[in-house]
Structure 1
Amino acid sequence: MGREEDLLQAAKAGNVDAVRRLLGQAGDAEASSSGSERSSVSAGSSGAGGPGSGSGSGSGAMATAGRVAALRVVKQLDSLLGKKPSVNCKDEAGLTPLHHACLAGHETVLEALLRADASLVVKDNKGFTPLHAACWGGHLLLVERLINEVTSVNDASKSGDTALHYAATNGSADICSLLLKRGADAFLRNAAGEAPIDQAALYGRLDAVRVLVEATRKQLGRYSSEKHSPLHAAARNGHVPVVRLLLQYGMDINTRTTNGTCLHEAALYGKKDVVRVLLESGIDVEIRNSGNETALDTLNAFANKTGHEIRDMLVGED
C-alpha cells in the first residue's frame, strides 16, 4: 500500500496515531519520544553529585547528542524517501480521509486532519461532502465542529440531497435541530423532488419529523408538491405515529398528489392501520387521482385478502 492508501485506511479505522505520523504531526504522535530524549540530555549534563557527575557527564551528554542527531537524520531520510500523503487524497469512490472520519465518527482523527488543512468542501464521486458524511453517520459532535467551518449548510450532493436530507433520513433529530438553527432550508428538494421531511416520514423517523414540523409549522403547506408530501410518504409505508403527528400539527389530510390522497397510498400498499386512522380522521374518500380513480377504484384490480379487507373498510362494511 502507498502512503495515501495508508492514510485512508488509518482514518477509516480511527487510528489517530497513524494518521498523525503519516501527516508529519510529530509533535502529537511522538511527544513521549521527544520527552524522553530531552530528559536524557538533561540527566547526562547535570552538575549534581552522584554516579553521573564528574568527568563522565561530558561523554554521556555527547553520546546522547549523537543519538538525537542520528534520529534527526533518520527523520530527514524518511521525509526524502517517502513524501507525506495528500491530506485530501481519495479512494475509488472519491472519499477522502476526512469523509471516512466523519462517516465513522472519529473525532480525534477529524481534528488531526483539520490541523493538516483537510478540505471541508471536497466532494466524493456523488457530491458527498464531509458534513454530509457526519450527518449521515449521525455524529452530532462532529457536525457541531464542522458547521462552524463551512460557509453553507445547504450545499447539495449530485442527487440534490443536503445535510438536512441526510440527517432527516437517518433520523438524527438533534442534528436536524442544529442544522435548522444554522440556516438549513427545510424546503429544499432533491433531484427526486423530496424535501427532508419526506424522507424522514418515509422511514418513520418520528423525532426528526417532529423537529421539522415544529420549525416550520406555519408553512406546512409548502411541503406538498405534485409528486410528494410527507403524509403520503408515511401512509405508504404504514407509519401510523408519523401520520398521526402530521395530522395533529394540521397538515391537510386531503392533500392530493398525482397518486391521489394519502388514502390512495395506504390502500394501494395494504396499510390497514393507516387506512383506519385516515377514515377516523375524516378523509374524503371520493377524491380522485390523476387517473380519475378513487382509493376504492385502485383496489378493484387486487384480489388479495388485505385488499378485500381495505375495500370493505372503505365501503363501510368493517
Structure 2
Amino acid sequence: MRGAKPQNSINLKIILICCFFLFLLFLIFRSRLSDSQQSSSVNPSIHPVNSSDSHEEPKQTDCPTPPNLTPTCTKISPSLAHALVHYATLNITPQQTLKEISVSLKVLENKSPCNFLVFGLGRDSLMWTALNHGGRTVFLEEDKSWIEQIQRQIPSLESYHVVYDTKVTQADELHEIGMQEECKVVSDPRFSKCRLALRGLPNEVYDIDWDLIMVDAPTGYFDGAPGRMSAIYTAGLMARNRENGETDVFVHDVDRVVEDKFSKSFLCEGYLREQQGRIRHFTIPSHRTRVDRRSNLRKWLRWWSGQEFSQL
C-alpha cells in the first residue's frame, strides 16, 4: 500500500500539469481571437473573402475612410491652385492691406459662390476670382492696354473696357447734380436721367443682380483722372434697383476726398457697416419693392379719383 502511494502522487501531478497547460493554451487562443476581431473592426478595408470572389483582385481606394468620418481627400479648385502659384511667384503686393481684404473676405465666406462686380482690374483680381470660386466675378477696367496685358497672363478672368467722361476736377459740380431729383429716382442705370449714371457698360452687367460690388477704380489720385464719382453712384443705383435682397458695396481709398464724400452721400451713411483702413463696407437693400408699392398706390389713387369723378 505504501509502495502505490508515490505512483498515485506522480500521476496526479502529471494530470494537474496537463490541465494547467491546456488552460494556458485556451487563454492564448482566446486572446488571439479577440485581437483579430478588433483589428477587423478597426480596419474596414479588411473583409472576409468568399469562395465566389476569391479570384477577384482586391479593390483599391484612393482615400480610405476612417470609421465614423467623412472622406476628406478632395482636390482644391483650379482657380485656387492658379492663385496660389500666381501669388507665390509674384513680387508685387496688391494695393489693399490684409486687414482691408479681410473685410470683403468675411462677406465672401458667407455669400460665395455669388455675383461679384469689381470696378478695376489689378494684381488682386485673381484673388477675388479664387475667393468667389463657383460664382461669377466680372471686372470693369478703364485702361484697354492693361486689360490685354492681364488677359495674356490670366486669360480666365472676365473683364470689360469702360470709358469714363468725368474728371476729378468736376467732383464738386457732379456732387451737386447727384443731389437733384432725377438722380434720386431708382431705376436701371441705362435709363437713368442722372448725369452720374454709367450707361455704356455691357448689357449683362445691368441685367445681373450683383451680390457684391467693389469700387477700386477708375484712377482718382490726380486732377486729370476720371475719378470714382460715377462708379460709386452707379454701384449704389444698381444695389437699390435689384429685384430683392441686399448688395454689399465696398469702396476703397476713402482717405481721399472724392471717395469719402461720394460714398457717404450716394451709398448712405446709414448703410455703413464697417470701415477698416481705407475701405468702407455698405450693405444696401433693394428699393424696388418700395418703388413698386408707391407706383401701385398712385395707380389706385388715380383709379379711385376717376371713379369718384364719374359718380358726381
Choose 1 or 2 for highest CA Rg.
Answer: 2
Q: TM-score, normalised by structure 1?
A: 0.24
Whichever structure has more strand as a proportion of its residues is 2
Q: TM-score, normalised by structure 2?
A: 0.24
Higher relative contact order (CA 8 A, sep 6+): 2
